[in-house]
Structure 1
Amino acid sequence: MSLIPKETVDQVLALADITEVVGDFVSLKKKGQNMWACCPFHHEKSPSFSVSPAKGIYKCFGCGKAGNSVQFIMDIEGTSFPEAIKFLAKKYHIDIPEDEPNPEYAKEQSERDSLFIVSDFASKHYQQLLHNHEQGGIGQSYLKQRGLSNNTIRKFELGYSLDEWTNLTDAALKAGYQQKYLEATGLTIAKEDGKKYDRFRGRVMFPIHNVSGRVVGFGARTLKSNDKKSPKYLNSPESDIYHKSNVLYGLFQAKQAIRMQDMCYMVEGYLDVLSLHQGGIENVVASSGTSLTEGQIKLIARYTQNITVLYDGDAAGIKASLRGIDLILESGLNVDVVTFPEGEDPDSYIQKVGDTNFKNYIKEKAQDFISFKTSLYAEEAKGNPVKKAEAIREIVASIAKIPDSIKRTVFFRSCSLIFDIDEQVLISEYNKMQLQDRQPSQKPGSSPFEAPVGLPVEEEPEKPVSDVDVLKRYEREIVRMLLNYPNQMLEEGVTTCQYMLEQLEDVEFRTPLYARLMELVKEKLCDNVIPSAEDFVHYPDQEIRTEATHLLSDPHELSHNWETHQIFVPKETDLLPYGAERAVLRLKWRNVELILKGEMEKLRLVTDPQEQDNQLNNILMLKQLHSQLGDMLGIVVNR
């Protein structure tokens, strides 16, 4: 496989706007100069994920993930640098000159990238068969019968698998893809005797995309009504790129609409998504027959805090899936519910009543989940005290999942009115549940109301900070200032870069990463170029890129209200001459201290009187220098 030309990589880096790239995966909100969101890489309820449009970087101050646009795609997709460049090139319509795939192509890819590539090949193969093969007419007839237009079929990349044993496998091997990747994605099934065959045969194919639009698996519906042995729907098995619990069908096509409308409709099947999307309800996704999982809820929470679950008109099915919604409540999201007439599902109902009537029906029938569940259980428990008590406990258990105390209070009041029971009784039951949840973590014999006294047994005393760690911190501060303010004038004719490099000319950086960064700064200056943030954020070495992003990120922003009220708060740039001087002095002081310790150790090993005198004079000079630097820093007692 040919390498991506540097000119193309540079073009991608120049065009890939960090706000646009991250905004495809996360709902960003402006605060100060930066954009903020809840981190897509770990679970959190308060936003600590920052995007700096000016610097072209992102940084999570919770989990530490950081980088530029390319790194973000690598982090969120778990893919390689070349594949991330290709992804962004496609987004920004940049052509990448590469040779056609050859038999060695897959071998040169990382294992994970190869699974994506094989899945993409299969998707395109199935699409080509649907539209161009005579057997594909069977699939087209079915899809048209279900009311799907050509635009919808192409938008969701629907396809057809021929009713032949090895059609896909043969085509993939001929194109140069390795059989092990076909097996790893579940597209090919291999027997112990060496025989192999396609998993999907004679089925309409529904490609399942991840949030960036890459095919990770397939859902497949058989069109053989007389085949009782095969399941109606067959899905790809779990693989390194396909985890059912972390994927939602249709999310790639729906994410922009979800963000724009601040609402996600949740349905059950592929055709529900396709019919609603075609009917103008594009903010719709499906869990594809699985119970809702925490991973799927996190995906939705990137784009909205509001979910409306559209239930089929099947009472037994509704009851069975209620517990899954407790997970949504626990995540702090708002959940509404809409049920359809018995025997109807979203697909059949929109086909029956039309787009406009369907939208009106959703608006009229939507109710919050707690009220819906309360009414459902209250109806079932009529005239039966035992069932009523069980129902109340069920409702309280759901309300207990809600992290917001105000919402809990509102729902307790609503529940008390529907069940005609004192609100305080519900709150007491809630408190009892909370107490029971905490008890397993209590130590035998201890009271849940007793505050721990002293240092917990399992905790260890904090370890003292080593000299190396302290030095690393001082070196980091120097590099941070150089990256953030390289061209800032400290005094007339002297920039931060010039001042620090002159002052630290004889100081050797002991932290390898910061030593490398300092060398890069010097190289730029030797070429008469002032280093910029982009030079480091887009540097080929990932360790350099990541650390540069950390150093360029600031978790604190000054509220504009301070300026509005004419309250002056000095910024770091206002105090930069003082800060730069202090940073240089601290590093020198710490370096001298470490050198002094080393010389003291050497003195113990010296036996020759003349050498001892020389060593003592050397130590005396270092002590004087250390004391002078300490005086300049205002340090009275050394650490």
Structure 2
Amino acid sequence: MAGLIKREDIDAVRERAKIEDVVGEHVTLKSGGVGSLKGLCPFHDERTPSFNVRPQLGLWHCFGCGEGGDVIDFVQKINHLSFTEAVEYLAGRVGVQLRYEEGGTVKRGIEPGTRQRLLEANRLAEAWFQEQLATPAAQTGRDFLTGRGFDRHAAAHFGVGYAPEGWDNLARMLRSHGFTERELVESGLCGRGNSGRIYDRFRDRLIWPIHDVTGAPVGFGGRRLSDADKTVPKYLNTPETAIYHKGQVLYGLDLAKSDIARTHQIVVVEGYTDVMAAHLSGVTTAVATCGTAFGSDHVRIVRRLLGDAADPSAGVIAGNRARGGEIIFTFDGDAAGQKAALRAYGEDQHFAAQTFVAVEPRGLDPCDLRMEEGAQAIPRLLQRRVPLFEFVIRASLANLNLDTAEGRVQGLRSAAPVVAGIRDRALKREYTRRLAGWLGLPEAEAVGAVRACERRGNRPALPEEEAPMSQHPGLPPVTDPVEKLERRALEVIVQVPQVAARIGADDI
């Protein structure tokens, strides 16, 4: 939320949130002397307790790794949250309504009681969905899971459930726990028809709970089990609510966050079953977006988990990228996958981490790949990853005949904007050199095309946005006399190579 949280509200959160209770959910604390508790530090490996909590002071400190702070600092570090997010999380937990200052005015945030009610509704719904998966009515759902290689233990680990047929099964259960119709609608679990009747949003679907980074259920994703009504979407997610924003959550993040922070690697797949398949194959850093493309809010989450310290305004350097870890996207090799890669390319400029793409040549997603080749198939796929920049450049050349002069020139026009968009100067020089090699053109021509795109501020076009050759944004302006001469020289080289061959370097 925009604006700074009022200082007195932050102080109230810090005072009401008992540090021993918050820390105690992650660390087994024992008496460490008068006014002190101790345990094993959650931030580094140790066998002898060096992590101390002093409840009366509201502080914690580890004498082993040197980390320390108050309850807000602990929530920030353990859950990889920003300061504001940590305060908001604790405020909802202890019942403090936050106020935000913006432009000299004070705005009220979501009522803490409302947030807690919506979270509680989701918790009850999650448990209810999981119970329904064991009923006879859910046989089709269980068959779906079994057919994709997931047993009941896997379903339980990922919290998979089932929403039965019927208009208001879940609504009636939640009403029995005291939830109002307004709360049912605001939670996104139910909708309201034109007649005013409340109905369940999820019906006859397998259900995956979507948790925030703290592990709280904030939404759900459901897959249609029957193809009888093709007008019903195959996948359906919770709509935007006060606690669920699809651009700010990653499915599986609550399960993967510790390993992501430890290994400095994150694998981004496309679906819920892909996350399950990856984790069960030993790739426990896999997450998926929830019904939306990987965007800037996801970048913020990933950077924080990786400890990524890129400075997008200055441009990152190769050394920083090596220290920043790695992000691996799994895309299909078709046009949709190329478009997704171009979007990821745009976001890559905000990372210090190295970004890669892993593509299965036959178009199999990770879940299908595991079914066909076994548990080692997904790790092998990730081992064949290629740098994102290389993937995007090669994708722009994939449908061109580079054995012809026209194909090579068009390839230069298509790929130069991609190379020009690389902020890391060392990488830009290297990919300019590689582009020349892939096209079979002199390096100087690739350098000139890339520099022309830099001057014009060109960006790579998505597949459906590509312009005809004569109108492509990568072309230099014909009004520039120097570039006009260079173009004519290139035309001579391409069209009359025997003449160009007789011209020595000293004649140019």
- TM norm. shorter chain > 0.5: yes
Match of 2:74 in 1: 69
Amino acid at match of 1:140: R
Q: Distance in 1 between matches of 2:405 and 2:279?
A: 45
RMSD after superposition: 3.3
* Deviation per residue, 1:305-344 (Å, 9 max, x gap): 41112223x5222222232121232113322122113242
Structure 1, gaps ≥5 residues long: 19-25, 29-50, 59-65, 87-106, 439-639
After superposition, the Cα gap between the structure-2 partners of 1:324 and 1:203, relative to the gap in structure 1 and judged at 3 Å, is same
Residue of 218, 221, 224 corresponding to 2:220: 218
Larger Rg: 1
- Equivalent residue in structure 2 for 1:350, among 352, 370, 385: 370
User: Which residue identity does 1:378 align to in structure 2?
Assistant: L
C-alpha distance in 2, partners of 1:358/1:134? 33
Give the deviation of 1:401 after TM superposition.
Answer: 3.5
Of 420-429 and 292-301, more deviation after overlay is shown by: 420-429
**Cα deviation code 1:269-308 (max 9, x no counterpart):** 1111111111211111112342221111222222334111
Which amino acid letter does the alignment assign opposite residue 396 of structure 2?
Answer: Y
SS at match of 1:344: coil
Alignment partner, residue 372 of structure 1: 391
Q: What is the count of residue pairs matched by the alignment?
A: 375
Q: CA deviation at 1:267?
A: 1.3
Partner residue of 1:126? 129
By how many angstroms is 1:266 displaced? 1.5
Structure 1 position 114 matched with structure 2 position 117: yes
**Displacement after TM superposition at 1:126 (Å):** 0.7
Percent identity, aligned pairs only, is 24
2: CA distance, partners of 1:196 / 1:418 = 60
Find the residue that maps to 1:355 and give its secondary structure: coil
Match of 1:278 in 2: 280
Task: Give the Cα separation in 1 of the matches to 2:445 and 2:23.
Answer: 62
TM superposition score normalised by structure 1: 0.53
Deviation at 1:220, TM superposition (A): 0.4
Maintained 8 Å contact 1:112/1:240: yes
Are the counterparts in 1 of residues 92 and 115 from structure 2 also a CA contact under 8 Å? no
1:245 and 1:296 in contact (8 A); partners too: yes
What is the aligned partner in structure 2 of residue 400 from structure 1?
Answer: 420
- 8 Å CA contact 2:273, 2:367 repeated in 1: yes
Match of 2:20 among 5, 8, 11: 11
Deviation at 1:77, TM superposition (A): 5.5
Distance 1:10 1:412, change over 3 A: closer
Q: 2-side partners of 1:387 and 1:437: how far apart?
A: 24
The gaps in structure 2 that reach 5 residues or longer are: 1-12, 28-41, 45-59, 96-109, 307-324, 459-508
The corresponding residue for 1:178 is: 180
Counterpart amino acid of residue 250 in structure 1: G
Aligned pair 1:79/2:88, yes or no?
Answer: yes
- Cα 1:151–1:239, aligned 2, differ >3 Å: closer, same or farther? same
Distance 2:293 2:17 in 1: 43
Counterpart amino acid of 2:277?
S
Q: How far is the alpha carbon of 1:114 from its aligned partner?
A: 2.4
Confirm or deny: 8 A CA contact 2:224 2:234 kept in the other structure.
yes
Q: Which amino acid aligns with 2:432?
A: F
Residues 1:423 and 1:108: Cα distance change in structure 2 (over 3 Å)? closer
Aligned match of 1:135: 137
Change in 2 beyond 3 A, CA 1:389/1:299: farther
* Distance in 1, Cα, partners of 2:337 & 2:67: 49
Give the Å deviation of 1:360.
2.5
Q: Which structure has greater helix proportion?
A: 1
SS in 2 for 1:308: strand
Judged with a 3 Å threshold, the aligned counterparts in structure 2 of structure 1 residues 114 and 422 are, in CA distance, closer, same or farther, namely farther
- 1:467-494 Cα deviation digits (max 9, x unpaired): xxxxxxxxxxxxxxxxxxxxxxxxxxxx
- Shift in Å, 1:242: 1.5
Task: State the SS of the aligned residue for 2:18.
Answer: helix
Secondary structure class of the residue paired with 1:347: helix
Q: CA deviation at 1:230?
A: 1.1
Whether contact under 8 Å (1:371, 1:414) holds in the other structure is no
For 2:217 and 2:269, how far apart are their aligned partners in 1?
Answer: 20
Secondary structure of the residue that 2:136 maps to in structure 1?
Answer: coil
Match of 1:410 among 430, 433, 454: 430
Q: Structure 1 residues 85 and 294, CA, compared in 2 at 3 Å: closer, same or farther?
A: same
Name the aligned partner's letter for residue 9 of structure 1.
K
- The alpha carbon displacement at 1:85 in A equals 6.2
Task: Return closer, same or farther for 1:236/1:378 CA change in 2, 3 Å cut-off.
Answer: same
The amino acid that maps onto 1:317 is A
Cα deviation for residue 425 of structure 1 reads: 3.3
Deviation, 1:431, is 3.2
1:437 offset after TM fit, Å? 3.6
Whole-angstrom distance in 2 between the partners of 1:280 and 1:55: 30
- Tell me which residue corresponds to 1:340: 360
Q: Indicate conservation of the 8 Å contact 1:268/1:289, yes or no.
A: no
The answer to whether the Cα contact below 8 Å between 2:161 and 2:206 also exists between their aligned partners in 1 is yes
Aligned residue runs from structure 1 range 413-428, under 5 A? 413-428=433-448
Q: What residue number does 1:98 align with?
A: none
Deviation of residue 14 (structure 1)? 6.5
* One-letter amino acid of the counterpart of residue 175, structure 1: H
* One-letter identity of the residue aligned with 1:136: A
Specify the code of the residue in structure 1 equivalent to 2:299: I
- The match for 1:164 is 166
Cα distance in 2 for residues equivalent to 1:400 and 1:27: 40
Please give the residue correspondences for 1:295-374 in structure 2 after superposition, counting only pairs within 5 Å.
295-304=297-306, 305-312=325-332, 314-332=333-351, 333-363=353-383, 365-374=384-393
Counterparts of 2:264 and 2:249, CA distance in 1? 20
